[in-house]
Every structure is written in C-alpha cells, then in structure tokens.
Amino acid sequence: CTPIYRNHGYAPSETELGEVVVGIDTRDTVQDVIGPPSASGVIREDAWYYVASRWQTRGMYAPEVLNRELVAISFDDAGTVRNIERYGLEHGRVVALNRRVTDDNIKGVSFIGQLLGNIGNVTADQLLGQGPNGN
Amino acid sequence: CGGNKEPALESLTAEDIYKKAEFELETTRNADDAAVLFGEVERLYPYSEWAKRALIMQAYAYYIDKDYENSRSSAQRYIDFYPADEDAAYAQYLLALSYYDQIDLIGRDQGLTYQALQALRTVIERYPDSEYAQSAILKFDLAFNHLAAKEMEIGRYYLKRGHYTAAINRFRVVVEDFQTTTHTAEALYRLIEAYLSLGLDHEAQAAGAILGFNYQSTEWYEDGYKLLQGKGLEPDVLGTGWLQAIYRQMVKGEWL
Amino acid sequence: QNYSFTNVQIEGNQRVDASTILSYAGIARGETVSAAQVNQAYQNIVESGLFEEVEIEPRGGTLFIRVVEYPTINVINFEGNRMIKDEDLEQIIQSQSRRVYNPSLAEADAAAIVTAYEQSGRLAATVEPRIIRRSDNRVDLAFEIVEGRGVEVERISFVGNRFYSDGRLRRVLGTKQAGLLRRLIRSDTFVADRIEFDKQVLQDFYVSRGFIDFQVLSVTSELTRNRDAFLITFNLREGQSFTFGEVTASSDLAEVDVDLFQEAIRVHPGVTYSPALVDNTIARLERLALQQGLNFIRVDPRVTRNDRDLTLDVDFRIVKGPRVFVERIDIEGNATTLDRVIRRQFRTVEGDPFNPREIRETAERIRALGFFSTADVNAREGTSPDQVIVDVNVEEAPTGSLSFGLNYSVTNGAGAAVSFSESNFLGRGQYLSFSLTSGVDNSVTSFTFAEPAFLSRDVTFRFSASYGESSNQDSTKYDTRRVSISPSLEFPTGEFTRLALRYTIAETDLYNYTGASPIIQAEADEEALLTSSVGYTYSYDTRRTGLNPNAGVLLRFNQNFGGLGGDTKFVETTALVASETTVMNEDVTLRAEFEGGLLNFLDGNSRVTERYFLNGKMRGFDNNGIGPRDLNTPSNEALGGNMFAVVRLEADFPIGVPEEYGIRGGLFADVGSVWDLDNDNGGSVDDGMNLRAAVGFSIFWTTPIGPLRFNFSDAVQKESYDEVRNFDLTISTRF
C-alpha cells in the first residue's frame, strides 16, 4: 500500500540562506529574510535553529522520519551572525526516552465518577434494537 | 416548595433561622439545605448582623456541598458588600478554593487553573496578614506546579512523536517561566534528550551542566549524566546557545 | 480651599456599614483634603450604585455623609406572560432577588422583555415594572406583561423574477406562507431580521446559479386591515446567468509546476458559474500545493468578465502567502477529554507553517469525534506578527449512555435490552460498549472496545466479542448458538483508502432441529463447528474527504480465509460498490449500490448458519424470504445460498414539507438474488439464480433520537415460495 508523506517544520532554502551574510546580518535582518526560528532562544539568543523534516507512514507501522534538515545560525555577543552550520538526519541520535514522570499530586476524579459522570444521550439504535453490532 | 416554608421562617428571628441553618450544616450531610436556609436569613433580615454572617456561611455551605458555582457567587457577593470586613479575606479564600478544587488531572482543562491562580493571588496580595494568606501561598505554588505539569505533558507528547523543536519550546517555557516548580529538573533532562536526538550535542551538554549545578541531588541529574556519558560527552560548558547564556548568567552571575 | 476633618459622621446607612462607605469615600480622618477630593468622594459613593441619595457636607472639623440606601429586592415575579416562561424571562433581566433595587435597571429589564417578545413575533407586547414596598426597606419587583396578538405572514410575492417562478422562490425563502400547520410552528411569524436573512438566501440562490449581478432592489410589507398579518413583496433585478469561460492556473514562483495545477482544475468552460465551484477549485489547488511540500502557498482567483458572450474567465494565480508559523496550540474546556486526544487530531505541529485550510479540516475532525457540544478552533496573533497561537475551545457533551428497557425491531419483535456504551471512555477517546438484547426468539450479548490511536499511531485497534442464541422454532425449526471473538487493526493506507486486518475465532452450533429437510438435518448432525479465520477489508472512500463535496464513491472489498486450524476451510469474498451524488442544487440525492458475496467451502458443505439470506440487504421481502427452499418440507424451509448479489437504486428528495420537520420522501428499486448450494439433495431443491425485484417509496424522518425510515414496498418479481413484507421501519443508516 502506498505510504503517506507529511512535512513538518521549516528550513530556509539555499537561495534564502544565500542572502544571510556572516558577520553583517543581525538577528532582525535574519528574521526578516528567513522568518522566526523553529527553536529560538530567550534571554540572549546565541543560536537559532531551523528544522524541517519529512515523514513517511506506511500501513500500520509508526511514522518514520525520512530526512531532517537543521540549519543552525549562531550569533556573536554583538548580535551579528557568527556562523551558519548544517546538520542532517545522520547527526541525530536515537535516544530512549525516560519513562519516569514527575508526579503531580492533584488527585483526579475517581474511576467510577468519570464512568458515570457523563451519561446522558439516548441513540436511536438502542431503541430500535439494532445496536452498533446490529444483529 | 419554598412556599410553605415561607410563613414558618417569617415568624422566626434572624438568629433562629441562622442557628437552624448552622445546626443543619453540622448534623446532616446535605449542606445545600443549610445554604438555602442561610440565604433565607439574608433575604428576610437583610440589615441584621446575622445577614452578613449568613452570607459567608452560605458560601461555605455551598463549598462543602461541592456546588462550586453558587459558592463562588455568594463569596463574590460578600466581597462586594463587605470589602473592608475581616471575613472578606475568608470569602476571597473560599472563592479561590472553589476554583482550586476543580483542577483535575494534568491532561484535562487548564482554564480552571488560571482562575484559581488569579483568585489565590488576590488573597495573597489583598490580605497578606490574614491567616489564609499562608495556605493560599501554598496552594498557589501547587496550582503553579500544576500549570508546569501541563506544559511538560504537551512537551512529552511532542517528544514521543519525534517533533523535537516543538518539544524544546515547551520544555523551555517550563525552564524559564516555571523555575520555582518541581518540574524544572525534568524539563532540563528532556532538553538533553531532545537536543541529543537533533544532534546538537553542545546544547545537550549545556542543559546537563545546569541540571548538574542546580539539581545535583535529583535522579534526573543522574540519568542526564548517564545519557551524556553514554554518548561519550561530559556535561561541561562549551559552545554557545541560549542555555549557555542562562548558565552563565544564572550560575556564574556574569551578566554580559 | 481645603479642609481637615477630625471625625466623619455617617447617617442613614442600614445595610451597608460605615467602614464600607468610608472605603468608597477614600477620606481618612485627620487628613487635609481639597474640595475636589470631597467631590470625588461624593462621586465614588454614588457610583457604588448602592444608594438612592448621597449628601456630603463639610461642617467645620467634621464631615457629614448622609445616605439613603436603595431598597433590596425581596421577590421578583412576572404576571401575564403566556408565550415566554418565567425561567426564560429571569435569564433576560439583570435585577435579581436579594440584590439592590435600582429603578433604571428595572426600566432596562422591561425594555429587554419587550425586545424578547418582538423577536418571537409579538410586536404589540407592553411591559410595566411595578414595586410593592415591604418592611425593612425591602421591595417586591413585579413585571406586568400584556402580550398582544402575534403577527402572521399572509402572502409572499415577487416582482421582476423572469427565470424562476414565485413558487420556486417561495420554497427557497425562510418565511413560509402561513401554511397549514400554523399552530404547530412559529417560523412564519413576521420578524424584521428574518427579512434580512431571506434577502441573503435569495442572493445565495441566484449567485450560485451564475446570476452575479442579482440584486434585491426593495422589500415592501403592508399590514392587513385587522393588523394580524403582513403581505410581503420582494422587488428583484436578476441580471444574466454567466458561465465559465477560460479557466487557467498561473504562477510566477519558480518551484510551482503550473501544468500540474492546471490538470487539478476540474471546472471546464461552459459550466454555470458559481462561487462554490471557485472555492472548491481553490481547495483542490491548495491541497495539491500541500502534497508537493510547498509552504505558504495562497491561491487567489482573478475573474475577468466579458459581457458579450456572458462568460467569466477565471485565472487562479498561485502566489506566496505571508510566512506565518504556528507558535502554540492551546486547548481549553476539555473537562473530561484528555489533551492528547484532541491534540492528535492536528496534522500541524507547533512550529509548523500556519495553513488555515489544515486548521479548518482539523476543527472538522475534532467535531466529528462527537465528544463536544461545541468545538471552535481559531487562530490569534502570537508573540510576534509572523507567529500565530491556535486556540481550541471545547465544551464537553455527555458521551455515555446507559439504557435499560424495551426495544422494538421489526425483525425480532419486542425485546428487553440492557446496554452501556461510552464513546469517550475515561476521556481517552476509546469506545467501549456492552449490550445484552433479548428478543422474542433470540438474544445477543456483545462487547466492543476500540482504541483509535493504538500505540499512539493513526491505527484503530478494535476488539469485539459476542454470544448469540436463537431458537425461532416456529419459522426455521432449529436453534443456533454462536460465540465469536474478533480483534482487528484498521489504518489509512492513502488519502482515500483504508485497510483493516482481522482475526476471527467463532464456534457455531446448530442443534435440536425439528424440521423435515434432509439438507439441514445433515448440517445439524455436525454439532458445534469451530471456525478460525483471518481476513482483511480494503475500502476506498472519497465521500467526506473527496474534492467534490456533494458526490462520492465507496468501494469496500473484504475477504475471510477460514482454515487456520478449526473445523472448516472456506474462502468468503464480499464486495460493496456504492456511489452517491446530489443533483438539482443539492435538493435531490441519487444513490446506486451494488453488493455481492461468494462463500465457497474447500472441504465439506456450508451450513445454513453461514449461508447468505439478504436480510436487511434487500427490501420488500421478509426475513429469510428469498433464496433456495426445500419445497417438499411442510413449511418450505429456507436454506440460504452460497452466493448473493443485489443492486439497490435510491433517490431521496424534499416533499414540500418545510425543512424544520425533517421529513423527506424517497423512491427505491432493489434487484437481487441468493443462489447455489453445495448439497442440493440430488436436485430436488432449485438453487438456481432466479432474480427477484422490489420497488417502493420511503419516508425519512429525522427525530431527536435519530434518523428513522419507513419503507413501503411491493415485490414485483418473485418466486412463488418467497415471503414478502410490505412495510419496514429501520434507522436510515449511511453506508
């Protein structure tokens, strides 16, 4: 069966990247030329990262990433572009995610409370005896 | 059915109805009858001292009965009429509690958490020396913690599905806006995971450094260290990135 | 000049205590205060809205504040209201019992009630607020309402309509003439803003038929003599109907391959112009751009008009839209549903380019979950102009249903049913249902569980188990018992296609057979048979997601292979092909369906419990009414067949009853047959393929509990021994 393709994120194309000149462009000019970064900094943004990835889902298998383009633009203290690096999918590492989660001590509604909490609608198929598993 | 009770209550004095309501509240479990009785006191004798106390007791009765909507409206009415009264602090606190108790699992609606935070903040700011300020501060931190948990929940959602930049942005919100909560350590750890998955080792190392410096005792730091070790990396400070900036300023106090 | 007060004297306050008034006045004792501040204090106290009169008078060292409090409202009641009930009126007014009585507020409430009456057609209603003094400065507030008579619309007429008749236009309009069912409904009462709505309806009707210059010049309405009805006349200027001329796609962006987009355009010259077709094409082109991975693409149509030959040339220019990103997706209001259940409906991830069409489709998917009474998704500006925050606001609706009780179905007669179903189990979006239905002669217990995001992928895991017993001794002369367990996985394999893989293990038992047919007797002797089969269903469905919203095709092809262990080896293939389209501007729906099935047993014979009977697949015949029969048994026992095929043609259309009843009519024709037996007992049973046909009409009625369908049918071609049924009541399920 044919796979389904999906694109996520955004990375500037070669032509747009060409317009960014190391040493001259500042954060604002970079933002005007190629837009806000996918992951941008907060206090003193030293590096901006633009990430674009293409995903493929085949049948019942989990979606896998086909390729990922990461453009890293780093700035020096004066805020001008210091370096433009490119990372690909091959630089990424497969990391096993940690199962532990910081627990939150807010107690939820009890199981029964949720179950009976939103009883309310009558559907025609119950009345006419042809339930979803219609006999 | 209020009709037939009317003559019976008309003849009683404010104090009797109040006592009757109080008795109802203490003995029987259904607090909503008590709340209705307190309401009657206020309606029949709107000028008596009892009316004021009945109003606050009505808010309390509705709260006990978990009828948060009415509890909020009665508490709000008390604050409108008797802002300078010493029970106003309790009314404001009841208002906050009625939002706070409705906060549910982190996966659920967060609208209530915001309202709870606002109400708790008014208690803390307007009545700092009342006996409720202390527990309001505690509940404020818990609600704030709850908000951070929601951001973490969404961050993990994106991390699990491999959308690392979305996850990074969510965990960053926790690191910067929710520094006082218990989730900051995990947020930093998740950042290590996300940056490593993208291949940005120096950012992962920086996250590890901050985790090491501030949260040395947590298991998150141990796992972070192992994770970075596993990749042959030391959590040291090199390279640049927003995290180094935080590390330099927060840890070393260099503000340049 | 300014003053300094040693003490403040407050008089006249009963309910509001002195410290409150002081806090409003904002003047502390012993503080030097200017005249302006005193005046300001006066203003504050007045604005508090608690006092009827306020006087402030500085006398030497003391400040005198004298107030007269507004009375508080003891009880509010309404007299003379028949059309609108007290509870609705209470929602409209602002004054409330136990709150302060404010005369201006009471006047505003009276006006609000008058407008409420005007909205529902009572133009002559009058409302008078009155207060009754009570002890302790309390008042009772009463609204005396005189409703007056309703105003009906008597007749609607049109001037200047050459292309469409008055009758056709009346059917299009919202205000119907005072029809036969006037008592029942109120929609034909005359309301001003309904006329505005009707103008819009007329505009849409004409523009969607190519009349781009259509205009409603004026609407005149005269009141009949005895002031109880209106004559409305619409004055129209239709203009001419335009058709599409040259339809092209163009772009000056390097990465856009123009001929690809040109092919995607389905509108060809000569077709009547309509804005819907243009929007439709824009949707196609934007979706194509998305598939090509082009971001920030916007399609804006340039229309050039040539009046000579009444055509419009449309050029779809593909341009670079603004570069905007989705910064955050915030979800609120989900009291029971978990955040991830809603978030996973988004194909857009935070940080992705913002695509309004994608967000609209996601809103549709969230609503299609069926968990929410309202679900609106809108985007607002984020922290920077080129970033957007998507807000999802939902309101939960009850998704569980617990029902005990009786139900009636034409096939099984009356029966008792206990069923619990929850389509949003624990807020995780999982479906869980357990039901026990027992009819006159059969009972089925079934359990179904479905997890739409199995392993958080776009894969639905479904597990269903059922145990059924039937003992319809009078008609089929045998009892059956069937236990079946079937897990399945279903997932999309393309934009329109889905594949489901399933495994079924079932045991069917045919026992205490009292009939006379040797065929069934042989089958009954085999006692319980275990079948263990693997199967798949491939479906191609362009109806909802297809580009043409009002037409679509469904192909469903499935096969089961029995023989993975178990006692039976068989291959069962069934197929359903259905297509549906709407004509005459979406009033009439035409539907054609073909359904066929082939069951062939590799070893041994099929049994009556597995064979086909066309129950519920062909109208006009009773249960087990069609198919080969053992004629030399006293009651012509039905044997079913290994093969079946049926063609169903249907049309449904409005029958002139106003829409709000939800009643539509329909015609149908079914042609089909059941045939072929492995063991036809040496030829004494005719298992050839004899076509049956039935025609009939049906009435559709959408009721609050669901769409009902009444079928009246007549079997025009049948075998002598078939059993016919002329009336059937079912739920009009969509395939």
How would DSSP label each residue in A10-39? ----HHHHHT--TTT-BHHHHHHHH-S-SB
CA atoms of C173 and C159, how far apart (whole Å): 15
What does the pLDDT read at residue C660? Answer: 60
What does the pLDDT read at residue B8? Answer: 60
Task: Find tokens 């947590």 and name the residue.
Answer: B218
Which CB contacts under 8 angstroms, 24+ apart, belong to B228-231? Answer: B228/B192, B228/B204, B231/A93, B231/B196, B231/B201, B231/B204
CA atoms of C370 and C399, how far apart (whole Å): 8
Burial of C685 (C-beta count, 10 Å sphere; 0-12/13-18/19+): buried
What does the pLDDT read at residue C733? Answer: 53
What does the pLDDT read at residue C686? Answer: 80
Crossing angle of the two packed helices C35-47 and C18-25, in degrees rounded to 10: 120
Among B9, B82, B73, B69, CA closest to B43? B9
Average pLDDT over residues B220-236: 73
C interface residues, B as partner, C-beta within 8 Å: 14-17, 19-20, 22-23, 72, 74, 97-98, 136-138, 328, 332-340, 343, 349-351, 427, 456
ipTM of the assembly? 0.79
Name chain B's partners: 3 or more CB pairs within 8 A. Answer: A, C
The tokens for C712 are 């009246």
Q: Do A132 and C427 touch (CB under 8 A)?
A: no
Interface of B with A in 207-246 (CB under 8 A): 219, 223, 227, 231, 240-242, 244-246
List of chain C residues whose C-beta atoms are within 8 Å of the C-beta of residue A101: none
What does the pLDDT read at residue B4? Answer: 43
Write phi, then psi, for C707 (nearest 5 degrees).
-80, 115
**Residue C354 DSSP symbol:** P
Are A35 and A48 in contact by the 8 Å Cβ rule? The answer is: no
Among C721, C515, C522, C524, CA closest to C631? C721
DSSP string across chain A: ---EEEEEE----HHHHHT--TTT-BHHHHHHHH-S-SB--SSS--EEEEEEEEEEE-TTSPPEEEEEEEEEEEE-TTSBEEEEEEE-GGG----PPP------------HHHHHHHTB----HHHHTT--TT--
What does the pLDDT read at residue C149? Answer: 64
Tally C-beta pairs within 8 A across A and C.
Answer: 148
Q: How do residues B172-207 score in pLDDT, each as one tens digit? A: 989 888 888 889 999 999 999 998 888 888 888 888
| Residue B166 one-letter amino acid | A
List of chain B residues whose C-beta atoms are within 8 Å of the C-beta of residue C136: 45-47
CA atoms of C626 and C717, how far apart (whole Å): 12
Burial of C352 (C-beta count, 10 Å sphere; 0-12/13-18/19+): buried
Distances (CA, A) of C286 to B124, C292, C656: 53, 10, 39
Q: Does A99 touch chain B (CB under 8 A)?
A: no
Task: Find tokens 């249907």 and name the residue.
Answer: C650
Are A17 and A84 in contact by the 8 Å Cβ rule? The answer is: yes
pLDDT along chain C (735 residues), means of 10: 75 74 72 78 80 81 81 82 81 78 84 79 77 79 78 73 80 53 45 72 84 86 67 85 88 84 84 83 82 80 87 89 89 86 92 87 87 89 89 87 69 73 84 84 88 83 92 78 93 86 92 83 84 93 62 88 88 92 75 92 84 85 84 82 92 75 86 86 78 90 76 88 83 53
What does the pLDDT read at residue B199? Answer: 86
pTM value > 0.90: no
User: CB C150: neighbour CB atoms within 10 A?
Assistant: 20
What does the pLDDT read at residue C420? Answer: 85
Crossing angle of the two packed helices B31-44 and B2-11, in degrees rounded to 10: 60
The rounded mean pLDDT for chain A is 76
Distances (CA, A) of C223 to C146, C188, C190, C228: 21, 15, 11, 7
| Residue B149 one-letter amino acid | A
Among C560, C556, C623, CA closest to C593? C556
Q: How do residues A17-64 score in pLDDT, each as one tens digit? A: 888 888 888 888 888 888 888 886 434 467 888 999 999 988 888 888
Q: How do residues C258-307 score in pLDDT, each as one tens digit? A: 888 888 888 888 888 888 788 888 888 887 887 777 778 888 888 888 88
Burial of C660 (C-beta count, 10 Å sphere; 0-12/13-18/19+): exposed
Are C173 and C198 in contact by the 8 Å Cβ rule? The answer is: yes
Q: Does B251 touch chain A (CB under 8 A)?
A: no
Are B177 and A43 in contact by the 8 Å Cβ rule? The answer is: no
Write phi, then psi, for C201 (nearest 5 degrees).
-60, -45
CA atoms of B176 and B179, how far apart (whole Å): 6
Q: Do B46 and C136 touch (CB under 8 A)?
A: yes
| Nearest Cβ partner for C494 among A1, A36, A62 | A1
Distances (CA, A) of A102 to A106, B106, B116: 12, 11, 22
CA atoms of B11 and B6, how far apart (whole Å): 9
Give the dihedral sign, CA B229/B233/B234/B235: negative
**Residue C307 DSSP symbol:** T
Are A25 and A32 in contact by the 8 Å Cβ rule? The answer is: no
Q: Do C491 and A132 touch (CB under 8 A)?
A: no
Write phi, then psi, for C147 (nearest 5 degrees).
-80, -35
| Nearest Cβ partner for A91 among B160, B176, B199 | B199
What are the DSSP E strand ranges found in C362-496?
372-381, 387-396, 400-409, 413-425, 430-438, 442-451, 460-470, 479-492
CA atoms of A83 and A73, how far apart (whole Å): 6
CA atoms of A109 and B104, how far apart (whole Å): 7
List of chain A residues whose C-beta atoms are within 8 Å of the C-beta of residue B172: 39, 42
From first CA to last CA, the distance across chain A in angstroms is 33
What does the pLDDT read at residue B2? Answer: 41
Longest dimension (CA), chain A: 75
Are C383 and B200 in contact by the 8 Å Cβ rule? The answer is: no
| Nearest Cβ partner for A93 among B172, B196, B249 | B196
Q: Do B47 and C137 touch (CB under 8 A)?
A: yes
Among C389, C321, C326, CA closest to C353? C326
The CA-based angle C130-C135-C136, given to 5 degrees, is 110
**Residue C73 DSSP symbol:** E
What does the pLDDT read at residue C277? Answer: 82
Q: Is C318 or A107 the better-scoring residue by pLDDT? A: C318
Name chain C's partners: 3 or more CB pairs within 8 A. Answer: A, B
List of chain A residues whose C-beta atoms are within 8 Å of the C-beta of residue B157: none
Phi/psi region, residue C370 (left: phi>0; alpha: psi -120 to 50; beta: rest), is left
Distances (CA, A) of C400 to A116, B52, C350, C420: 8, 43, 32, 7
Among A68, A91, A99, A102, the strongest candidate for a mutation testing the B interface, having the largest count of B CBs within 10 A, is A102
Burial B175-185 (b: 16+ CB within 10 A, else e): beebeebbbbb
Crossing angle of the two packed helices B184-198 and B164-177, in degrees rounded to 10: 150
Among C322, C252, C255, CA closest to C289? C255
Q: Does B43 touch chain C (CB under 8 A)?
A: yes
What does the pLDDT read at residue C507? Answer: 92
What does the pLDDT read at residue C616? Answer: 79
- Residue B80 distance to chain C (closest CA, Å): 10
Distances (CA, A) of C521 to C69, C605, C630: 95, 13, 12
Are B25 and B54 in contact by the 8 Å Cβ rule? The answer is: no
Q: Do A60 and C707 touch (CB under 8 A)?
A: no
Are C488 and C500 in contact by the 8 Å Cβ rule? The answer is: yes
List of chain B residues whose C-beta atoms are within 8 Å of the C-beta of residue A62: none
Among B170, B179, B204, B169, CA closest to B189? B204
Q: Do B185 and A102 touch (CB under 8 A)?
A: yes
Among C494, C505, C566, C576, CA closest to C535? C505
Q: Do C444 and A122 touch (CB under 8 A)?
A: no
- Residue C19 distance to chain B (closest CA, Å): 7
The tokens for C387 are 């970033």
